[in-house]
Structure 1
Amino acid sequence: MAQAKSENECRPRGRPPVRSDEETKGIVLEAARQAFAGDGYAATSTEELARRAGISTKTLYRLFPGKAALFEAMCADRLERLLSAVDLQASDEVDIEKGLRAALLACADLALDPEVVALQRMVLQESAAFPELAAHFYKNGISRTVTALAGWLRAQVKKKRIALDDVEEAAGMLIGMVASAPQRAAIYGGLALPSRKDIERRVKTCAALFLDGCRAI
């Protein structure tokens, strides 16, 4: 009895701590990433998303007004790691080629992430029925990735390390070199995504081509 009493006295009393909306949003976004990538947009219901996140549908709708808004928020959230990684490489101490490789690797890590490629495949399959998916994916995925890399390039132009007339165009070209071919091979050809070693080799080649060119002198 004494032992039971001791255990009861040690047990915390009162209601469990209330989870903040920001914490709940993070859990919902993670559940949405897995559900959309695995089951598709049309097949995923708000009830299923709420169940995966361990909340009520009422709470889900309080945090996100609808499934489209949740998809948009999920795409935006998925890019925060990329944006911070690109921004970190803009310091004066970083060698231009080393910095470019790091920036391109951050872009490639996101563009060639298996979940992101699965989402892109889903968008392509379902965009005819849900055109807002393509718009959200472009706005919060492709467009923001280009903008982030363009910001890094713009910083290098201001420091007179490189000369470019259009940093946005150059950023799009660079991301295309690094990621487009492997993405297409995975989505349309059913091939495996490149390994980390292959991505790093591709990034190194793209950085050298961009900075030095390949014309024989």
Structure 2
Amino acid sequence: MAQAKPSGECRPRGRPQLRSDEETRQIVFDAGRHAFAVDGYAATSTEELARRAGISTKTLYRLFPGKAALFEAMCADRLERLLSAVDLQGSDEVDIETGLRAALLACADLALDPEVVALQRMVLQESAAFPELAANFYSNGISRTVRTLAGWLRVQVKRKRIAIDDAEEVAGMLIGMVASAPQRAAIYGGMPLPSRKQIERRVQTCAALFLDGCRAA
């Protein structure tokens, strides 16, 4: 006669709880970032992406209509997460120089993020065959970053802290000063991305160059 199990023990019943679609999407994004950066866009198949994410191709196609849609959603998600962490310090208590340094540092952290730079390198390599990749990366990344900084600059203009005419144009110039040269060195020259101290020093120099010419009287 078999012994009865203690009353405190209970066996799990039914099917195990499944992941939500959002959790699965994040797993696919992680797999996609790695696969695209290492193997390139053209060489990465949807089957390989599904295998890396541990899901079926049917599930992958249910979440994303195709590889291009997955890439676009992946870029948007990554940049959304980075931008959501950006604090541009626009309060009245923060002086213009401190606020500008914080804003430029946030933009530099985004533009010089290793995953973002790896994606940009891949986009440049694949853009001739897949021009939609460059368009998606530009609209979901570069343009959004410029618009975010431009919004902060407009607030400073309203508070009469600086005097500029075109906030978006100036925002693009500032981001270019802070990030373009280190990006090019990493993508084309194989140089390492700058350290945190190097980025902070670059931000400080760019803020001083801008404010010395544009500080409101």
TM-score with structure 2 setting the length = 0.90
C-alpha separation in 1, matches of 2:116 and 2:152: 23
**Structure 1: 4+ residue segments shifted above 6 A:** none
Letter of the structure 2 residue corresponding to residue 89 of structure 1: Q
By how many angstroms is 1:121 displaced?
A: 1.1
C-alpha separation in 2, matches of 1:84 and 1:95: 22
Amino-acid identity (%):
86
* Deviation sequence 1:12-34 (CA, Å, 0-9, x none): 33322122111211221122111
Letter of the structure 1 residue corresponding to residue 35 of structure 2: A
C-alpha separation in 2, matches of 1:55 and 1:6: 38
Gaps of 5+ in 2: none
By how many angstroms is 1:57 displaced?
A: 1.0
Q: Relative to 1, partners in 2 of residues 1:7 and 1:71: Cα closer, same or farther, differing over 3 Å?
A: farther
C-alpha separation in 1, matches of 2:166 and 2:32: 36
Q: Relative to 1, partners in 2 of residues 1:162 and 1:13: Cα closer, same or farther, differing over 3 Å?
A: same
Number of the residue aligned with 1:51: 51
C-alpha separation in 1, matches of 2:60 and 2:191: 36
Letter of the structure 2 residue corresponding to residue 80 of structure 1: E
1:97 aligns with 2:90: no
Number of the residue aligned with 2:18: 18
* Deviation sequence 1:183-205 (CA, Å, 0-9, x none): 11111111111111100110111
TM-score with structure 1 setting the length = 0.90
Q: How many residues align?
A: 213
- Contact 1:85–1:103 (8 Å) recurs in 2: no
* Deviation sequence 1:54-75 (CA, Å, 0-9, x none): 2111111111111111111111
Q: Relative to 1, partners in 2 of residues 1:19 and 1:69: Cα closer, same or farther, differing over 3 Å?
A: same
Q: Relative to 1, partners in 2 of residues 1:11 and 1:95: Cα closer, same or farther, differing over 3 Å?
A: farther
1:125 aligns with 2:125: yes
* Deviation sequence 1:86-122 (CA, Å, 0-9, x none): 4552233322211111111111111111221111111
C-alpha separation in 2, matches of 1:17 and 1:7: 24
Letter of the structure 2 residue corresponding to residue 121 of structure 1: R
Of stretches 15-24 and 167-176 in structure 1, the one that deviates more from structure 2 is 15-24
Letter of the structure 2 residue corresponding to residue 209 of structure 1: L
1:77 aligns with 2:73: no
Number of the residue aligned with 1:181: 181
Gaps of 5+ in 1: none
Number of the residue aligned with 1:66: 66
Letter of the structure 1 residue corresponding to residue 207 of structure 2: A
Number of the residue aligned with 1:106: 106
Of stretches 194-203 and 45-54 in structure 1, the one that deviates more from structure 2 is 45-54
* Pairing of 1:128-143 with structure 2 (within 5 A): 128-143=128-143
Q: Relative to 1, partners in 2 of residues 1:15 and 1:93: Cα closer, same or farther, differing over 3 Å?
A: farther
C-alpha separation in 1, matches of 2:31 and 2:8: 36
Letter of the structure 2 residue corresponding to residue 53 of structure 1: A
Number of the residue aligned with 2:190: 190
By how many angstroms is 1:11 displaced?
A: 4.8
* Pairing of 1:133-212 with structure 2 (within 5 A): 133-212=133-212
